[in-house]
């Protein structure tokens, strides 16, 4: 039977029972029991027990080794112990008694650190759990103990097997599912841990069936002190847990799935040890005690320093592992340059002054938060903990950058990704802060700003990952959200709709920054968060510079500059620059935090600009983040990223246009003009009303481009607004219910709880150009919720400097956008617009300007005008870049190389240029009929790669000025006698008609560089004439077909031969003053359009389009 008898047998068994009897045997077994008895034996066994009894023996004969019992014997031994080790009281350090968070694992690694004196670890008492339904409940299992001096942890995991020493391996068994098991100390020598040193322990069950587990307690930080196993003698540390792998004969580490780092756990058992004092045991005792300490001049070989300083004149070759406990100071200063500090926590508010409910802010959520930190003193930021966070898995990215986020909130290239989490869930076992997001330390010098962006890029379909952990403020960027004497957290913003592929969003309120306004506006901030940082004060610098030719290893600069010829490899971390420049430039790739008072002899090799402008005579290759008080003598390669222009213009303008909201004082040489925006605030004295839509007319007094609107929403809580903006040329009256009469120019979906003016994004609305005296109507419609309008009278209007805005009609339903509405209501908000020139006349004037310019230009323009001048050029030379002649005759002495496309409207001079000729006419009869002509139009399209995608009308017209003359050159190259190119008309660029009333987007591209588009589609039309051979042009269709075939075939030949690409490159070089890499695809020629022009039998009242074959023999009478 596996169960023991209730009474003992009269004679002992030949083999011991697997389980102890409830009563002791009357006679001892011939072999010791494999398990300890519950009660002590009356007399000692002939052989020692494999495991000691739980209670001390009552035998009068002492054991050969001291007892490990926690209870002393009831009486002293009759004979002395044979052990060479003196008896000492056993001490026990036990963990808290708890059932919370206990989990069983095959093995656990942890450290024990001896504090004030040497200790011996005699054994451990473990709590081992057995699966209740295990079929091998009674089967013995192997428990193995390993040690590793210095600790259990390696580079990124527990130390490998080769770094451990096996000191015990014993067979054990259990009878219950949860039982205490003590590791017999007679199976291994006690482990000495010297004062101020650490020993690693690895206790593991080698059970292939994995039915036995060692219970552990929850931990939080690998290597951290275990507060439940600490007293004045020692402390244990939090360790990692293992799963036994019989194939490897070693344990595999359990990892946290989200971070792939070892799972921290704490040992749940007793540590049984003895104190050994501070002495080192000798191999044999001395004959007599020493009268005093050793005065040897040779240092001890001990790795533990003495309590008092050594009297030796020669220091140890190896430094102590811990600082000396001597009260006498060293003769030399310590090698450390920075004091040690603990982590400091800065908490953010849980309530905002503007939105409190019952003492706590209701708060909202978001997918990302972005804010600045400003350091008043030098420090390092280690982690950010959320106040509220959902418990489902999510992917998180943490970004940081030196400087503010304000000019970089949508540009990922300006940020550093410093940490990523996959399937992050917060740790409920972390009592300190379970929602902590840790990252590598981010250094901040005194007075510097560093921006942080925490982006939750994947929630697997879940919403509100931060629950109510984000609350609003009222001083975006300018206001301080939380601060202490070292660090300030500034008010920031939040993001919605971000993803793995677009961590910074797509530039809309639904996918990107939410309600981004100017400094001082609405902000969004972390509620109840904790920012953990460590101070980084520096020690006092030297009073004089080092004279060494090798730079010092100190991280603190001297008060005076070094005289070393070798610059430091890393930049100084001082918040104050050196008083004198270095002899050579820094080789660091990180710029200094502040400019030096004197410029370097050579420019910095860094690829990043300084935060403040350089005082160097040579500018950086990249612009500074702040404008200079004085302009640079040489322009930057790229425009400044400042939101304000320089106080004075540079001596040479930048090649790309400025992205500043304010124009420069001097003109840019860019082909894209600066745009200044204006506003018209529309309001009235009428009553405020709610509307789902409003129609209204504007009447400009000059040419303007309507770009966007500011709307006053009506929302006391967060509401969804689905806005659509429509436009039509002419008034809205009579078309209020006719959707076909309107063109949708914008669609914006947003969420807001604001009752203030909210600007609709520029990028979401197609700008509309309206000329003076032209009525243009707009319809702003909203589905989902309503906004503000004001009631007024018919015919009333808001009168602005450049336009009038008239009272119109409101819509008070959101199910049908074009249902009839109610009159009269006026738009309540702001119209934002820019000014443009009025459209040019369809034809040049016949006479020169009445009043010429007072001062002519010093030299002709490098780029021809996009519209011909009203008066001829006064230059003595024709323009070098013009491919087409002017429609007005030139006053130049050198004629154009190409004849005019149309006759002059007036003679070039008021008098004949020379006396009349006296030669007689060669013929007495007038010239005969010139014959009829056939004119064909060939609509065509071609795709060109290599141009920048046009952003404005000016840029589109620049492309026209390059492409049109190149096509003309292509056609003229192979025309036969009698064939004439009449015109090349560019119809559209990328589907937008060049002369359309809807202009190209006038977008400022913030700090994002323009990207080359894959292609630009050009639609154009060629008009070619040919004189008919037959009278009356009876063969017009045949002539047209032959002309179409000849022109298109020759054009295709020129394109295939590369001549068209060459012409485009040459014209672009002339117009843009830079080379382009251009490629073209096969052109598309559509069906021709034939026109037969009238027969020319009578003299013309105007000069012909072709020069005469002979000069006239009679002067002109005019």
User: Can you tell me the mean pLDDT for 1054-1072?
Assistant: 88
409 or 585: which leads in pLDDT? 409
Asked whether the predicted pLDDT for residue 1102 surpasses 50, the reply is no
Buried/exposed 96-112: b ≥16 CB within 10 Å, e otherwise = eeeeeebbbbbbbbbbb
Of the pLDDT bands very low, low, confident and very high (cuts 50, 70, 90), residue 175 is low
User: Can you tell me the mean pLDDT for 933-946?
Assistant: 88
CA separation (Å) from 344 to 402, 462, 487? 21, 33, 10
User: Can you tell me the mean pLDDT for 216-236?
Assistant: 93
User: Can you tell me the mean pLDDT for 670-697?
Assistant: 81
Q: For 270, how many CA atoms within 13 A lie in the half-sphere containing its CB?
A: 13
Determine contact, residues 545/558, Cβ cutoff 8 Å.
yes
| Cα(44)–Cα(34) distance, integer angstroms | 15
Which has the minimum average pLDDT: 208-222, 320-334, 397-411, 417-431?
A: 320-334
Q: What is the per-residue pLDDT for 187?
A: 82
pLDDT of 872-881, one tens digit each? Answer: 554 434 444 4
Q: What is the per-residue pLDDT for 441?
A: 93
Q: What is the per-residue pLDDT for 786?
A: 83
Asked whether the predicted pLDDT for residue 45 surpasses 50, the reply is yes
Which 3-state string (H, E, C) describes 1038-1067? Answer: HHHHHHHHHHHHHHHHHHHCCHHHHHHHHH
Which 3-state string (H, E, C) describes 683-707? Answer: CCCCCEEEECEEEEEEEECCCEEEE
User: Can you tell me the mean pLDDT for 985-989?
Assistant: 87
Of the pLDDT bands very low, low, confident and very high (cuts 50, 70, 90), residue 1083 is confident
DSSP 8-state secondary structure symbol assigned to residue 163: G
Asked whether the predicted pLDDT for residue 184 surpasses 70, the reply is yes
Average pLDDT along the chain: 73
Asked whether the predicted pLDDT for residue 353 surpasses 70, the reply is no
pLDDT of 621-635, one tens digit each? Answer: 556 655 666 666 555
Q: What is the per-residue pLDDT for 1114?
A: 40
- The residue written with tokens 């295939």 in the block is 1056
177 or 561: which leads in pLDDT? 177
Q: 474 in helix, strand or coil?
A: coil
Q: What is the per-residue pLDDT for 668?
A: 45
- For the chain, give the percent of residues with pLDDT over 70: 57
pTM above 0.75, yes or no: no
Asked whether the predicted pLDDT for residue 884 surpasses 50, the reply is no
User: Can you tell me the mean pLDDT for 407-413?
Assistant: 90
Which has the minimum average pLDDT: 44-58, 101-115, 911-925?
A: 911-925
Q: What is the per-residue pLDDT for 925?
A: 35
pLDDT of 750-791, one tens digit each? Answer: 877 766 778 888 878 999 999 999 999 999 999 878 888 999
Q: Which span out of 100-114, 808-822, 945-959 was modeled with the highest average pLDDT?
A: 100-114
User: Can you tell me the mean pLDDT for 679-693?
Assistant: 89
Closest among 81, 79, 110 to 93, alpha carbons compared = 110
Q: What is the per-residue pLDDT for 289?
A: 55
Q: What is the per-residue pLDDT for 404?
A: 93
| Cα(883)–Cα(200) distance, integer angstroms | 86
pLDDT of 999-1043, one tens digit each? Answer: 333 332 222 223 334 578 898 889 888 888 776 677 788 888 888
Asked whether the predicted pLDDT for residue 469 surpasses 60, the reply is yes
Q: What is the per-residue pLDDT for 814?
A: 66
Q: What is the per-residue pLDDT for 333?
A: 52
Q: What is the per-residue pLDDT for 66?
A: 53
Closest among 129, 294, 97 to 213, alpha carbons compared = 129
Asked whether the predicted pLDDT for residue 670 surpasses 60, the reply is no
Asked whether the predicted pLDDT for residue 355 surpasses 90, the reply is no
Q: What is the per-residue pLDDT for 1027?
A: 82
1010 or 613: which leads in pLDDT? 613
Which has the minimum average pLDDT: 41-55, 110-124, 604-618?
A: 604-618
Q: What is the per-residue pLDDT for 44?
A: 63
Q: What is the per-residue pLDDT for 1076?
A: 84
Asked whether the predicted pLDDT for residue 840 surpasses 90, the reply is no
Which has the minimum average pLDDT: 223-232, 252-261, 661-670, 1066-1075?
A: 661-670
Q: What is the per-residue pLDDT for 920?
A: 46
Which has the minimum average pLDDT: 440-449, 560-569, 962-971?
A: 560-569
pLDDT of 367-404, one tens digit each? Answer: 999 999 999 999 999 999 999 998 889 999 999 999 99
For residues 213, 218, 220, 226, the Cα torsion angle rounded to the nearest 10 degrees is -90
| Cα(827)–Cα(662) distance, integer angstroms | 28
3-state helix, strand, coil in the chain (%, to 5): 5, 30, 65
Asked whether the predicted pLDDT for residue 916 surpasses 90, the reply is no
Q: What is the per-residue pLDDT for 396?
A: 95
pLDDT of 263-299, one tens digit each? Answer: 999 999 999 999 987 755 555 555 555 544 554 444 5
655 or 956: which leads in pLDDT? 956
Determine contact, residues 498/505, Cβ cutoff 8 Å.
yes
């Amino acid at each position: 039977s596996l169960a023991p008898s209730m009474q003992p047998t009269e004679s002992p068994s030949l083999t011991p029972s697997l389980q102890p009897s409830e009563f002791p045997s009357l006679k001892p077994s011939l072999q010791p029991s494999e398990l300890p008895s519950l009660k002590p034996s009356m007399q000692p066994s002939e052989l020692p027990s494999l495991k000691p009894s739980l209670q001390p023996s009552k035998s009068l004969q002492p054991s050969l080794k001291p007892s490990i019992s926690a209870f002393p014997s009831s009486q002293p031994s009759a004979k002395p112990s044979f052990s060479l080790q003196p008896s000492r009281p056993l001490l026990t350090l036990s963990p808290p008694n708890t059932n919370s968070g206990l989990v069983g694992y095959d093995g656990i690694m942890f450290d024990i650190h001896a504090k004030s004196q040497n200790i011996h670890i005699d054994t451990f008492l473990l709590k081992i759990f057995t699966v209740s339904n295990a079929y091998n409940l009674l089967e013995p299992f192997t428990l193995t103990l390993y040690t590793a001096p210095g600790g259990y942890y390696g580079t990124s995991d527990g130390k490998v097997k080769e770094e451990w020493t096996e000191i015990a391996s014993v067979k054990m068994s259990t009878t219950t599912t949860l039982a205490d098991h003590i590791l017999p100390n007679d199976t291994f020598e006690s482990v000495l841990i010297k004062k101020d040193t650490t020993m690693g322990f690895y206790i593991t069950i080698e059970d292939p069936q994995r039915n036995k587990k060692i219970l552990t307690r929850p931990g939080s930080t690998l290597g951290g002190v275990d507060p439940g196993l600490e007293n004045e003698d020692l402390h244990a540390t939090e360790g990692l847990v293992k799963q036994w792998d019989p194939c490897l004969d070693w344990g595999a580490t359990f990892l946290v799935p989200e971070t792939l780092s070892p799972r921290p756990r704490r040992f749940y058992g007793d540590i049984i040890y003895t104190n050994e004092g501070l002495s080192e045991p000798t191999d044999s005792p001395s004959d007599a005690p020493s009268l005093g300490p050793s005065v040897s001049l040779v240092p001890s070989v001990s790795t533990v320093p003495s309590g008092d300083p050594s009297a030796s004149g020669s220091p140890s070759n190896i430094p102590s592992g811990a600082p000396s406990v001597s009260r006498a100071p060293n003769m030399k200063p310590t090698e450390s340059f920075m004091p040690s500090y603990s982590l400091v926590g800065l908490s953010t508010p849980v309530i905002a002054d503007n939105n409190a409910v019952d003492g706590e802010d209701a708060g909202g959520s978001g997918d990302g938060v972005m804010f600045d930190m400003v350091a008043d003193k030098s420090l390092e930021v280690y982690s950010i903990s959320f106040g509220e966070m959902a418990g489902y898995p999510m992917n998180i990215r943490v970004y940081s950058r030196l400087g503010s986020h304000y000019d970089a909130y949508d540009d990922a290239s300006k940020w550093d990704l410093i940490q990523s989490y996959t399937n992050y869930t917060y740790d409920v076992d972390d009592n300190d802060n379970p929602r902590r997001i840790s990252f590598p330390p981010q250094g901040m010098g005194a007075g510097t700003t560093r921006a942080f962006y925490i982006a939750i890029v994947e929630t697997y379909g879940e919403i509100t990952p931060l629950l109510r952990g984000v609350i609003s403020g009222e001083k975006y960027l300018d206001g301080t959200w939380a601060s202490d004497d070292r660090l300030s957290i500034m008010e920031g913003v939040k993001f919605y709709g971000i993803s793995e592929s677009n961590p910074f969003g797509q530039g809309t309120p639904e996918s990107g920054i939410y309600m981004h306004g100017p400094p001082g506006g609405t902000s969004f901030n972390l509620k109840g968060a904790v920012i953990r940082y460590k101070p980084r004060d520096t020690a006092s610098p030297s009073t004089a510079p080092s004279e060494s030719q090798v730079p010092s290893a100190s991280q603190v600069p001297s008060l005076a500059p070094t005289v070393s010829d070798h610059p430091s490899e890393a930049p100084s971390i001082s918040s104050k620059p050196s008083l004198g420049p270095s002899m050579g430039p820094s080789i660091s790739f990180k710029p200094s935090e502040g400019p030096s008072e004197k410029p370097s002899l050579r420019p910095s090799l860094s690829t990043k600009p300084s935060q403040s402008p350089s005082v160097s005579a040579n500018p950086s290759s990249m612009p500074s983040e702040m404008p200079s008080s004085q302009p640079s003598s040489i322009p930057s390669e790229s425009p400044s990223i400042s939101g304000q222009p320089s106080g004075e213009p540079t001596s040479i303008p930048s090649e790309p246009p400025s992205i500043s909201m304010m124009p420069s004082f001097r003109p840019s040489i860019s082909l894209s003009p600066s745009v200044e925006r204006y506003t018209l605030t529309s309001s009235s004295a009428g009553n405020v009303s709610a509307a789902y839509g409003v129609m209204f007319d504007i009447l400009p007094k000059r040419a303007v481009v309507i770009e966007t609107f500011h709307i006053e929403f009506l929302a006391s809580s967060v509401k969804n607004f689905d806005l659509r903006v429509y436009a039509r040329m002419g008034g809205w009256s009579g078309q209020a219910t006719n959707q076909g009469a309107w063109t949708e120019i914008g669609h914006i979906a947003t969420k807001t709880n604001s009752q203030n003016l909210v600007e609709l994004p520029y990028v979401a609305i197609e700008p509309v150009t309206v000329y003076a005296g032209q009525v243009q109507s707009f319809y702003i419609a909203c589905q989902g919720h309503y906004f503000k309008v004001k009631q007024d009278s018919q015919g009333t209007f808001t009168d602005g400097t450049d336009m009038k805005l008239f009272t119109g009609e409101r819509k008070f339903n959101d199910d049908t956008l074009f249902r009839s509405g109610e009159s009269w209501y006026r738009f309540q908000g702001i119209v934002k617009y820019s000014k443009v020139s009025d459209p040019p006349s369809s034809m040049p004037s016949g006479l020169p300007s009445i009043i010429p310019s007072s001062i002519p230009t010093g030299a002709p323009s490098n780029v021809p005008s996009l519209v011909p001048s009203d008066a001829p050029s006064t230059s003595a030379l024709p323009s070098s870049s013009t491919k087409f002649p002017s429609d007005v005759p030139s006053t130049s002495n050198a004629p154009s190389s190409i004849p005019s496309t149309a006759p002059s409207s007036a003679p070039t001079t008021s008098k004949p240029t020379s006396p009349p000729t006296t030669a007689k006419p060669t013929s007495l009869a007038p010239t005969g009929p010139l014959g009829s002509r056939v004119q064909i139009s060939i609509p065509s399209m071609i795709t060109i790669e290599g141009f920048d995608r046009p952003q404005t009308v000016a840029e589109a017209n620049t492309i026209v000025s390059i492409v049109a003359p190149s096509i003309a050159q292509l056609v003229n190259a192979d025309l036969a006698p009698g064939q004439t190119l009449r015109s090349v008309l560019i119809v559209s660029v990328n589907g937008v008609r060049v002369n359309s009333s809807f202009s190209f987007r006038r977008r400022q591209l913030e700090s994002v560089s323009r990207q080359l588009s894959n292609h630009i589609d050009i639609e154009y039309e060629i008009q070619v004439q040919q004189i008919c051979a037959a009278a009356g042009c009876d063969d017009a269709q045949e002539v047209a077909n032959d002309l179409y075939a000849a022109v298109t075939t020759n054009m295709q030949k020129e394109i295939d031969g590369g001549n068209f690409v060459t012409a485009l490159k040459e014209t672009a070089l002339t117009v843009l003053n830079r080379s382009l890499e251009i490629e073209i695809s096969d052109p598309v020629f559509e069906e021709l359009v034939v026109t037969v022009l009238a027969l020319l039998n009578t003299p013309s009242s105007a000069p012909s389009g072709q020069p005469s074959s002979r000069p006239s023999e009679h002067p002109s009478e005019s």
